[in-house]
Amino acid sequence: MPLNLIFMGTPEFSVATLKALHEAGHKIVAVYTQPPRPAGRRGLELTKSPVHQVAEELGIPVFTPVSLKSEEEQRRFRDLNADAAVVVAYGLLLPKPILEGTRLGAYNGHASLLPRWRGAAPIQRAIMAGDAETGMMIMKMDEGLDTGPVALTRVVKINPDMTAGELHDALKETGAALMVEAMAALASGDLRLTPQAGEGATYARKISKEETRIDWTRPGRDVHNHIRGLSPMPGAWCEMELGGRLERVKVLRSTRVDDMGGEPGEVLDDFLTVACGTGAVRLLELQRAGGKVVTAADFLRGAPVKKGQRIR
């Protein structure tokens, strides 16, 4: 039996779930998403979120409140008379009247194996911590931060060189299929909820600009996880002397080289292998300021980096 759903999401990660629910035959009575934001080189154009754009293509009414705390917004939400709300990376906290504003409650698609990595950046934090697996979970939302009871889980392996972007793409498809399954079970009265474990909770805080710089004094394992955990956005970076001046360079892909070593930041060969606190990493994809992402071989053709040079 199809449900009348309110969908709440903002980034491209959420789009797959919105489309999947629509294709499964559920009626999306409204979409809630973040308001249009400045974009473009000069930040002068207001750009609608990916979810906003897709909702309009599907002919679904869109609401973009800056807050859901007012009685007026809460009344409008209730007046939609939805069976349930589906939330995937929306970006606003849902007050209790919103959580209780549908017949069956609000259900969140979260990209981690809760209670590990509650919070804003679970994909990046899982990779940066060196986790071997993560997953998608569907939970019924309560007033806590990702603390509600869990309905369904799918585990996804994290390969040793997998980037956050690649894991993002795997999880968004997994999450879309899992939410369709959850809503089918909810419609038939078969959705079972299990309280989260009381131990093992970690918090996936938002990525800050201050932590994006590569610290070559850390072990090679940690440097590699840092690089891939921040790829493609916002991107880990370092400083190299190129053409006689110090230039900021993003590193988007790397691999570990445990049988080489040197002073932290030292270039060890002609293939951009860089020494860390222990071991080394080989840089595979890089991006100069204002340039395209290129392979290490192409980068070296345009910006020679010699063995023995120090990278900061």
What CATH number is given to the structural domain containing 143? Answer: 3.40.50.170
Do 50 and 188 fall into the same domain? yes
Tell which of 203, 225, 243 closes a domain.
203
Model pLDDT, residue 34: 97
Q: Tens digit of pLDDT for each residue in 150-185?
A: 999 999 999 999 999 999 999 999 999 999 999 999
Is 195 annotated in some ligand binding site?
no
Is 254 annotated in some ligand binding site?
no
Alpha carbon of residue 172 to chain centroid: 9
Contacts 24+ apart (CB under 8 A), 48-55: 49/10, 49/11, 50/10, 50/11, 50/12, 50/14, 50/15, 51/7, 51/9, 51/10, 51/11, 51/14, 51/15, 51/18, 54/15, 54/18, 54/19, 55/7, 55/18, 55/28, 55/31
Q: Model's pTM, two decimal places?
A: 0.93
Work out the number of other CB atoms within 10 angstroms of the CB of residue 61: 12
Model pLDDT, residue 45: 83
Do 127 and 219 fall into the same domain? no
Q: Tens digit of pLDDT for each residue in 111-154?
A: 999 999 999 999 999 999 999 999 999 999 999 999 999 999 99
Do 38 and 52 fall into the same domain? yes
Is 36 annotated in some ligand binding site?
no
Q: Which domain holds residue 85?
A: 4-203
**Helix, coil or strand: residue 179:** helix
pLDDT classification of 41: cutoffs 50, 70, 90: low
Is 50 annotated in some ligand binding site?
no
Model pLDDT, residue 304: 86
Do 217 and 158 fall into the same domain? no
Do 16 and 123 fall into the same domain? yes
